Amino acid sequence: MISKNALECIRADFSDIDEQYRNIEQEIWGLEETSIVKKYLGLQKKKSELATKRKNLYSLMKYGEYENCEHLWGLSMNEYGEYDCFCVKCGINDKAMKLSNRGKEDSLSFDERVMASVLEEHDYNDDSDINIVCDKELAMALYKKIREYHPNIDDKTVIKYFEIALDDIRNIEVSDERKKSRAKRLGLRRDFNRWK
């Protein structure tokens, strides 16, 4: 129970804080009438509206990219020791659908939610085209680099080049400095270290 003396102290503190609060509120209302603050608030409103439109268009764009891709499936191993199939072209992976099916939708990123919806609505082949287990980021970087140097080859040839490049990466010992240089050339993070 709060004593009468304590209650008086609380009331006095509340009165002081309430007065400060109301003074600040009045100042804010006064600032809202200045042209620069009006402009700021207007821009914030426009930014919020554009952010919503941008998110919706991004979702549609990614859905279309995933849906229209002629997937080239690779394999990676996830943190649970399970194999995930992913497309080296567009990045869609079945991890999103697995997590969704396990009732873990809350753990999915925005992109993974889009992936799960595409995979649920369309049949996909869970057999890998590339039968070498490889980090998804590395696989996509290798695919991109192969396509950069050989834009007109078919997917079967891409797979052969991919397997040769990955075999070289894994079997030819290079220094840590060279690995950093390789990561940079492939467009990977400088500290990338999942080569095996």
What one-character DSSP code corresponds to residue 127?
A: S
Last residue of a domain, one of 65, 100, 115: 65
Same domain flag for 130 and 107: yes
**For residues 61 and 178, what is the distance between their CA atoms, to the nearest angstrom?**
37
Domain hosting residue 37, numbered range: 4-65
Pick the residue with more confidence: 80 or 136? 136
In the block, residue with structure tokens 């659908």: 97
Q: Can you give the pLDDT at residue 17?
A: 95
Last residue of a domain, one of 65, 82, 108: 65
The residue ranges of DSSP E strands in 25-146, in sequence order, are 73-77, 83-87
Residue 104 scores a pLDDT above 70: no
Residue 166 scores a pLDDT above 70: yes
Residue 25 lies in a domain: yes
Residue 194 lies in a domain: no
**For residues 124 and 45, what is the distance between their CA atoms, to the nearest angstrom?**
41
Q: What is the mean pLDDT of the chain?
A: 85
Pick the residue with more confidence: 100 or 83? 83
Same domain flag for 145 and 179: yes
Residue 176 lies in a domain: yes
Residue 103 scores a pLDDT above 70: no
Q: 142 near 162, Cβ under 8 Å?
A: yes
| Confidence band, pLDDT 50/70/90 cuts, at residue 102 | low
SS3 assignment, position 102:
coil
By DSSP bridging, strand 83-87 and strand 73-77 are antiparallel
Residue 195 lies in a domain: no
Total-model pTM = 0.66
